[in-house]
Amino acid sequence: MANVSKIIGSLATAINKVSGSAISGLSKIMGATISLFSNTKSLSHGITSEVDFATAASTASDFQLTEADAWSISFWIKPGWTSSLGTSTHLIASSEAGSSSAQDEMWRVYYNESNNRLYFGWRSASNQRSNNFIYFHNPGVNAAATISGLGNSFPSDNWTAAHPGYTNANGFTLITLTKGTGTFATNSNWTAYWNSKDLGNPWYSSGNNNGTPDLTDSVARKFSIGNKSWDNKNNMNGAATLYDEVSLWNVELSQAQVAAIWNGTDAVGAEDGVPLNLQDPPSPLNSDNLIGYWRFETDGTVSTVGSATLTLGGDVESVTSPA
Does 239 have pLDDT greater than 70?
yes
Q: Is 302 within 8 Å of 309 (Cβ atoms)?
A: yes
Please state the rounded mean pLDDT for residues 216-240: 85
User: Is the predicted pLDDT of residue 292 greater than 70, yes or no?
Assistant: yes
Average pLDDT of every residue of the chain: 83
* pLDDT at residue 11 in the model: 41
Q: Which domains does the chain have, with CATH numbers?
A: 1-36 (no CATH), 39-319 (2.60.120.200)
Does 141 score more than 90 pLDDT? no
Q: 132, 84 in Cβ contact below 8 A?
A: no
At 210, is the pLDDT very low, low, confident or very high (cuts 50, 70, 90)? Answer: confident
Residue 208's pLDDT is: 67
* pLDDT, mean of residues 99-111: 91
Burial (CB < 10 A; 0-12, 13-18, 19+), residue 273, is buried
Mean pLDDT of 213-235: 87
Record the pTM: 0.87
Distance, CA of 194 to CA of 175 (rounded, Å): 5
95-115 average pLDDT score: 91
Tell me the per-residue pLDDT of 19-33, one tens digit each, with 9 for 90 and over.
343 333 333 323 333
- What is the chain's alpha carbon radius of gyration, rounded to the nearest angstrom? 20
Cα separation of 32 and 28, whole Å?
5
Cα–Cα distance measured from residue 314 to residue 50, given in angstroms and rounded to the nearest whole number: 8
Question: For position 31, what pLDDT does the model report?
Answer: 36
The confidence score (pLDDT) of residue 27 equals 34
